[in-house]
Amino acid sequence: MRAFRMREWLTDPVLTEVDTPEPGPGQVLVRIGGAGVCHSDLHIIREFQPGQMPWELPFTLGHENAGWVEAIGSGVTGLEPGMPVAVYGPWGCGACERCLQGVETYCERPGEAPVAFGGGGLGLDGGMADYLLVPHARHVVPLPDGLDPVTAAPLTDAGLTPYHAVRRSWPKLTPTATAVIIGIGGLGHLAVQIVKATTAARVIAIDTRAEALELARRLGADLTATPGEGVAALVRDETKGLGADVVIDCVGSDGTLALAVSVGRVLGDLTIVGLGGGTLPVTFFGVPFEMSVQTTYWGSRPELREVLELAARGLLHTEVTRFPLDDVAEAYRRLEEGSLTGRAVVTP
């Protein structure tokens, strides 16, 4: 089968031929219908140094995956060949408290996981291939009726990550509240919809690109703006001087973090989702009083089921640009140059 593999650190991956895996006991082989192209992969390709992560090369990229069950190993129940499924990406030990809660992103025994701090496409073979071997059936989530794998694939990260960030701030997203989403890309365009679908809060979307702001408006944003000297004043005006109750920063650069603090409300939430490498200086008067600042990583398996259900009901729309597997390198090139709107999905 074909697979897009990292063979050396700090070098471009290569599309090559590898053996098709066979599922062992408890495992599931998934025929890939869609694999999302994530900005996190660019960090792996361009920035990760040898020895930086406890991962061994080579491995196949692709941690946003959906498709159809191709074959199951002995002992697997509830899944049958041909069933459309999504794959929960982080693969923990399955036995610690966090894993038992379905939050395998925060596995507390990484030494007992299939790979420490990763999963398919993150240290182990992922879904930028014709087939994906999933090491345990608990990671395979049947798709709700009406949801196809190409649409579902990016929801496993680009949907799940902002959903987790928004969900943890639900108590502050009341009908009188305002949420600011910074960065209307693969994650941000879904974050706008998640706030609108699950709360009654107003949404202000901020991005530098006119086409991204147009997408945000089509997806329900109440107001859009470009970053600059006047944007903080605009948010304050729209919130009667109070600021945003919740800010979701899907970029995470120095500039967007400074912007997030400038528009935030006392007792509000700032959740940093993007891996832009920025820093946020914290001093007594440097952030609004009692603003809660947190980073989040991915989301839980139960939350993935909720995201898929929202999409199946038509409440989440994934803006998708499709690429055949033979053009996977072009998909990453387009992502790196910033010319994609929404999410790129590779469709073997």
**Best CA proximity match to 2, nearest among 21, 20, 19, 16:** 16
Q: Residue 315 gets which letter from DSSP?
A: S
- Residue 249 pLDDT: 98
Cβ(134)–Cβ(94) below 8 Å: no
pLDDT more than 70, % of the chain: 100
Per-residue burial over 14-38, b if 16 or more Cβ lie within 10 Å, else e, is ebeeeeebebeeebbbbbbbbbbbb
Q: Give the SS3 label for residue 5.
A: strand
User: Range(s) for CATH 3.40.50.720 in the chain?
Assistant: 160-295
Q: What is the average pLDDT value for the chain, to the nearest integer?
A: 96
Amino acid at 144: P
Q: Give the SS3 label for residue 4.
A: strand
Reported as a single tens digit per residue, the pLDDT across 12-43 is 999 999 999 999 999 999 999 999 999 999 99
pLDDT > 90? residue 341: no
Per-residue burial over 288-308, b if 16 or more Cβ lie within 10 Å, else e, is beebebeebebbbbebbbbbb
Amino acid at 219: L
Cβ(61)–Cβ(13) below 8 Å: yes
pLDDT > 90? residue 229: no
What value does the mean pLDDT take over residues 123-133? Answer: 98
- Residue 340 pLDDT: 86
Beta-carbon count within 10 A of 330 CB? 13
pLDDT > 90? residue 237: yes
In this structure, which CATH number among 3.90.180.10, 1.10.490.10, 3.40.30.10, 3.30.70.270 belongs to the domain 2-157+299-346?
Answer: 3.90.180.10
Superfamily of domain 160-295: NAD(P)-binding Rossmann-like Domain (3.40.50.720)
The pLDDT confidence band at residue 342, using thresholds 50, 70 and 90, is confident
- Residue 303 pLDDT: 98
Kindly provide the residue ranges of all beta strands, DSSP E only, lying in 65-170, ordered along the sequence.
65-72, 84-87, 119-120, 123-124, 131-134, 140-142
Q: What is the per-residue DSSP string for 181-233?
A: EE--STTHHHHHHHHHHH---EEEEE-S-HHHHHHHHHTT-SEEE--STTHHH
What value does the mean pLDDT take over residues 94-113? Answer: 96
User: Range(s) for CATH 3.90.180.10 in the chain?
Assistant: 2-157+299-346
pLDDT > 90? residue 259: yes
Packing angle between helix 328-337 and helix 39-46, nearest 10 degrees?
90
141 vs 68: CA distance, rounded Å? 11
24 vs 134: CA distance, rounded Å? 10
- Token pair 């049947």 is at which residue? 142
